[in-house]
Each structure stands twice: as C-alpha cells, then as structure tokens.
C-alpha cells in the first residue's frame, strides 16, 4: 500500500513494465493501442518462452507486457535516492497522456497488490498502464 507521502511501503513492490527476462512474469498481451489482455495469474517467464516470442522478428516488448521486482534506485526510471523515491515512468506516462482520472473499472491484474504504479497513483495508474509499452513501434 502507500505511506502517507504517497511512497510505496517498504515491502517488495512489482514493476508492471519489466524487461522480458527469466524471472519476470508475463503480465499481459498487447491487443492494440491502449489495450492489454492481462493474465491472472501471470505466467513465469523462461528463456525458452522468451526465445519463442523473439523468433517472430517483431519486438517482444511491442506484443507482451512483463512484470518483475521493482529495482527502485537501480532502475533508470527511478526518481530519488535508495530507500526513498518513486517510479518516474508512471509519472511521465500520466503527464504525457494527460490522465487525471482513475479507471472506472479496474482490470483483473495479477500484481495490483504489489504494483509500484498503483502504490503511487492508485486507480489513475491503472488508466495509463495499458498505454505503456517498453519499446514504442
């Protein structure tokens, strides 16, 4: 959940825009612009799975969304110091998309309870989430 200052509490949080790598989980399939079919539960990613997605030649990041452990200050998107700060990617997405209202209906998301973006912005993050891809086409 969130602390009073909007920061995620100190338990481990999940990143809904993690790279496709072993140890991450397949969070959803990109169906079209702004549309993600979320998997619940997510499917643990293996190297074989990733290799099979890559073999089509279309960047996997344009077709799939992966989740993983939030790396906090070790991530290039992190704003702030170790032990404090926030994910700048969701802040940027909300600003760029001019999103100020939360989703009326939340998708069936497998990571909401630990999601870094949800911890920072609640329902508003869920409105921007399907718009974010790791590698714009």
120 contacts 8 by C-beta, under 8 angstroms: yes
Distance of alpha carbon 17 from alpha carbon 14, whole angstroms: 9
Q: What is the mean pLDDT of residues 5-26?
A: 81
Look up the pTM and report it: 0.85
Average pLDDT, the chain: 87
Is the confidence at residue 104, as pLDDT, over 80? yes
The closest alpha carbon to 16, from 5, 3, 7, 25, belongs to: 25
All structural domains of the chain with their residue ranges: 14-131
DSSP character at residue 111: S
Is the confidence at residue 135, as pLDDT, over 90? no
């Amino acid at each position: 959940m969130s602390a009073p200052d909007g920061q995620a509490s100190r338990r481990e949080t999940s990143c809904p825009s993690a790279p496709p790598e072993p140890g991450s989980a397949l969070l959803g399939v990109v169906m079209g612009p702004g549309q993600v079919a979320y998997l619940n539960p997510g499917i643990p990613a293996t190297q074989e799975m990733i290799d099979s997605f890559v073999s089509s030649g279309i960047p996997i990041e344009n077709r799939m969304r992966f989740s993983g452990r939030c790396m906090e200050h070790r991530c290039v998107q992190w704003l702030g110091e170790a032990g404090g700060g926030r994910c700048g990617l969701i802040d940027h997405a909300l600003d760029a998309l001019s999103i100020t209202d939360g989703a009326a209906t939340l998708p069936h998301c497998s990571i909401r309870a630990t999601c870094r973006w949800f911890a920072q912005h609640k329902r508003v993050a869920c409105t921007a989430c399907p718009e974010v891809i790791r590698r714009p086409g």
